[in-house]
Structure 1
Amino acid sequence: MRNSSKLVEKLANKYIAVIGAGLSGIWASILLSRHCRGVLLSDAKEVAIGDKELQILKSENVKIELGKHSDDILRSQLVVVSPGVSPESEIIRKIKARKIEILSEVEIAYWFAKNARIIGITGSNGKSTTTYLTYQLLKNSKDKVFYGGNIGIPFSKLILEASPIDHSTVFILELSSFQLENTKHFRP
């Protein structure tokens, strides 16, 4: 059993920046917006955010900046970095220079997993197949079973879809090395 309530409490008065407006960044922003003071979703590229996701982000009062990273990021108390963002990028170097804590979407989602069981699947080859096969084996059990991660559905979105989460909830996650890079407490 993890002590996730204390980790979630850490977020309450924080302003959080999420770097990378791909699916993991979008859903991390939505999840975090419900538990912290404010969220900034930033991407250096002019990425297209789907209409459904954009509507949810706006309804959750997530500030969005595309095409640049402003200095607002450097005023955050925590930064969540999407797996596609290079650890050598200029913005990450600035964040590290300011000693702002950097975590991954997987780490943050884990904080909300409460008593759920988590199966993490990593490796060089066969992750997607193994993840999906594991899901197929467990989906007809009495448990609430979800699969995602690197296979297409971000862990943070699964957390929102699985609510309420308890000991009968099972998350099967395909995890890349990039997703695990900025984890601290994550223990599947």
Structure 2
Amino acid sequence: MAFLVVLGGGESGVGTAILGKQKGYEVFVSDKGKIKEKYKNVLEHFGIDWEESKHTEDKLLKADLVMKSPGISDTVPLVKTMVEKGIPVISEIEFASRYTDAKIIGITGSNGKTTTTMLTYHILKNGGLNVGMAGNIGDSFAKMVAEKSFDYYVLEISSFQLDGIQDFRPHISVLTNITPDHLDRYEYKFENYIASKFLITKNQDSADYFIYDQDDEVIGSWLSEHPIKSKLLPFSVKRTLKEGASLDKNEIKITTQEYTIKMMTDSLALEGQHNLKNTMAAAMVAKLVGIRKETIRECISNFQGAPHRLEKVLKIHHVQYINDSKATNVNATYYALESVKTPVVWIVGGVDKGNEYKELMPLVREKVKAIICLGVDNEKIKETFGNVVDLLVETFAMEEAVKVAYKIAERGDTVLLSPACASFDLFQNYEDRGNQFKNCVKNL
């Protein structure tokens, strides 16, 4: 019996353990931190051995195969030792994909991947397909493969998950954009991160499709130097394309050899230019898998959007409060500031991942009347914007930040939580940060 070691006892780890057990592996889950009670219960239920708060190296190095959770870096000494010993170390999406014949739609990018994944799933499901949504969102892919039988999977995939693939091959891959993010995991080299994102195309061939943003210079220059085998379907809001999705005045036009479909932009449920692009990508996927035009049009007009992404919370005394806690990097915050049309009281800060805030400067000068820092270390934000806005306040708890915003904001303003940073200094994750913001606003 082959021995499968699962590093990390979270969603992807426990999902992999369940699938591994089902497929006849001897499975052992090892987590250097604490495993949540709900996951321990699942492991106990399936009779899977586990350990927490340590890695018993002697045992782990006997593995035939290792699944490493995405949160664990390749530079961890234990992982390096495993690789040196010739033990294959793979990601959950690689492991799970070996046990399904379903068609896979893989969606990655620095920003927009959650919205694009949810919208694609929404259209495919309403179009009558037997489809599951997993990856970085919802249930783990491995758990779904173990427990369900879908014909299609729409997967949101992070660069960390792509780093651990060998044969993983999506039939349709989508790359929404590439901006510097997670550089702390990539030796602070942008080119390493770019290469990681393009792994989504690594095993594709001419029967597969690659949908990407042609307006993104980073993607364009990489493609010019690294040709890929899949069929290219670009989208653009700047130029008209013979093939792909483009903008013609206030109409989205999707053209391939087989069909043309047109949709009015004012029918889109999601606001902002970035969401125009997310919609183009999702609509192209839907067309490729045979969804009817009418269904696509209907779905893009009634889609609710991702939680914690430009989520309107409440209007209080003619001030709009918006929760954009999912904006964990500068580019996501750029989209948020770009889409708000009124003066902004901006709540920003958290764990900086090597951020360069200067690209936000034009938008901050134009729209932001006050900055409320919400983080343990706010020096970089203060340095960059201290002389640009009239008012900059430091806070160290969500309730305090929201109360300060309430005092500062005037009729017609927007209070925007768009942190441009990770959340781990003061919160469990970006969802916790967003939920706290919503609760504090509701308690005003």
Matched, 1:65 2:51: yes
Whole-angstrom distance in 1 between the partners of 2:104 and 2:44: 31
Q: Paired residue for 1:9?
A: none
**Superimposed CA distance per residue, residues 64-90 of structure 1 (whole angstroms, 9 cap, x where no aligned partner):** 010111021101111011100111112
**Superimposed CA distance per residue, residues 99-146 of structure 1 (whole angstroms, 9 cap, x where no aligned partner):** 1111110001101112x1111001111000000000111112332111
Q: 1:139 aligns with which of 125, 129, 136?
A: 125
Q: 2:2 aligns with which of 5, 14, 21?
A: 14
Runs of 4+ in 1 over 3 A off after TM superposition: none
Secondary structure of 2:61 counterpart: helix
Q: Paired residue for 2:108?
A: 122
Whole-angstrom distance in 1 between the partners of 2:5 and 2:61: 8
Q: Paired residue for 2:72?
A: 85
Q: 2:88 aligns with which of 101, 109, 121?
A: 101
User: Are the counterparts in 2 of residues 16 and 36 from structure 1 also a CA contact under 8 Å?
Assistant: no
Whole-angstrom distance in 1 between the partners of 2:89 and 2:127: 37
- Quick one: structure 1 residues 49 and 87, their matched pair in 2 at CA, closer, same or farther if it must change by over 3 Å? farther
Q: Paired residue for 2:155?
A: 173
Q: Paired residue for 2:414?
A: none
User: Are the counterparts in 2 of residues 42 and 64 from structure 1 also a CA contact under 8 Å?
Assistant: yes
Whole-angstrom distance in 1 between the partners of 2:146 and 2:127: 21
Letter paired with 2:60: I
Matched, 1:74 2:56: no
Matched, 1:186 2:168: yes
Q: 1:111 aligns with which of 88, 98, 104?
A: 98
Letter paired with 2:36: A
**Superimposed CA distance per residue, residues 18-73 of structure 1 (whole angstroms, 9 cap, x where no aligned partner):** 001111001100110111341000011123241xx433322332110101110211
Letter paired with 1:78: L
Whole-angstrom distance in 2 between the partners of 1:154 and 1:37: 19
Whole-angstrom distance in 2 between the partners of 1:49 and 1:75: 27
User: Are the counterparts in 2 of residues 83 and 104 from structure 1 also a CA contact under 8 Å?
Assistant: yes
Matched pairs, number: 169
Matched, 1:155 2:126: no
Whole-angstrom distance in 1 between the partners of 2:123 and 2:45: 37
Q: Paired residue for 2:31?
A: 43
Whole-angstrom distance in 1 between the partners of 2:33 and 2:90: 21
Unaligned runs of 5+ in 1: 1-12
Q: Paired residue for 2:13?
A: 25
Whole-angstrom distance in 2 between the partners of 1:68 and 1:36: 26
Unaligned runs of 5+ in 2: 171-444
User: Are the counterparts in 2 of residues 21 and 49 from structure 1 also a CA contact under 8 Å?
Assistant: no
The 10-residue stretch of structure 1 (176-185 or 89-98) with the greater mean CA deviation from structure 2:
89-98
Whole-angstrom distance in 2 between the partners of 1:160 and 1:76: 21
Higher relative contact order (CA 8 A, sep 6+): 1
| Backbone CA RMSD of aligned residues | 1.4
Q: Paired residue for 2:328?
A: none
Q: Paired residue for 1:8?
A: none
Letter paired with 1:141: G
Whole-angstrom distance in 2 between the partners of 1:54 and 1:48: 6
Whole-angstrom distance in 2 between the partners of 1:143 and 1:38: 35
User: Are the counterparts in 1 of residues 125 and 131 from structure 2 also a CA contact under 8 Å?
Assistant: yes
Letter paired with 1:135: Y
Secondary structure of 1:139 counterpart: helix
User: Are the counterparts in 2 of residues 109 and 155 from structure 1 also a CA contact under 8 Å?
Assistant: yes
Whole-angstrom distance in 1 between the partners of 2:128 and 2:137: 24
How far the C-alpha of 1:98 sits from its partner, in A, is: 1.5
Whole-angstrom distance in 2 between the partners of 1:185 and 1:38: 23
Letter paired with 2:113: K
User: Are the counterparts in 2 of residues 149 and 174 from structure 1 also a CA contact under 8 Å?
Assistant: yes
User: Are the counterparts in 2 of residues 44 and 67 from structure 1 also a CA contact under 8 Å?
Assistant: yes
